[in-house]
């Protein structure tokens, strides 16, 4: 099996039984979609594998050591770059703004396009889901999130577009910015 095959199997096991927030959609579909998005920008299997694994540290309680041991330091570093400090001792709604500010600051200062590709894969998958759900649910969509204010989500998703503007030549970035405007206009 290739590195990517191993990453997919690993992510399937890590996210087994998890669902997307507020839905009955199996969680694994999100990292697979993120990986497919990243694959539209690069054929580097380490970057694509990192996209598949991007939520394993944050949401599946897998350790950095385990990722590095199984997939190498570069993949582990890319996964870590997409991992928020959840501040587990505090309510997620209380830490939402600081976590998002940290993400934007990190991406603004990042020179490695691989990090930005993984972030864009994740966020494009998220905004696609938000767009579909917003069409079906309207503003009730925001009730499923820790942050209920759509204006704050708009700020965050627009800031991600600005922080990843180096990827503007890719259709994935163009789709992302178009969907952000559709959801938040």
Q: Which residues form the catalytic set?
A: 58-59
CA 175 to CA 173: how far, in whole Å? 5
Helix, strand, or coil here: 19?
strand
What DSSP state is assigned to residue 180? H
N-to-C CA span, the chain = 45
Residue 13 sits at φ, ψ, to 5 deg, of: -70, -40
CA 35 to CA 49: how far, in whole Å? 7
- The runs of H, that is alpha helices, within 40-91 are 45-53, 56-59, 64-71, 73-81
Q: Please choose, from the candidates 100, 171, 101, 161, the residue with its C-alpha nearest in 3D space to the C-alpha of residue 127.
A: 161
Q: Which two tokens stand for residue 71?
A: 């997939």
């Amino acid at each position: 099996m290739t590195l990517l095959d191993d990453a997919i199997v690993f992510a399937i096991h890590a996210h087994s039984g998890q669902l997307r927030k507020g839905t009955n959609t199996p969680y694994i579909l999100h990292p697979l979609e993120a990986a497919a998005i990243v694959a539209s920008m690069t054929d580097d299997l380490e970057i694509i594998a990192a996209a598949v694994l991007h939520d394993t540290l944050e949401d599946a309680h897998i350790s950095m050591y385990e990722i590095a041991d199984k997939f190498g330091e570069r993949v582990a570093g890319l996964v870590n770059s997409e991992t928020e400090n959840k501040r587990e001792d505090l309510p997620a709604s209380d830490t939402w703004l600081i976590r998002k500010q940290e993400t934007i600051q990190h991406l603004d200062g990042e020179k490695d396009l691989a990090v930005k590709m993984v972030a864009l894969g994740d966020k494009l998958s998220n905004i696609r889901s938000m767009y579909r759900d917003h069409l079906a649910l309207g503003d009730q969509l925001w009730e499923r999130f820790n942050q209920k204010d759509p204006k704050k989500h708009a700020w965050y998703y627009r800031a991600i577009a600005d922080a990843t503007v180096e990827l503007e030549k890719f259709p994935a970035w163009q789709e992302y910015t178009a969907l952000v405007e559709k959801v938040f206009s």
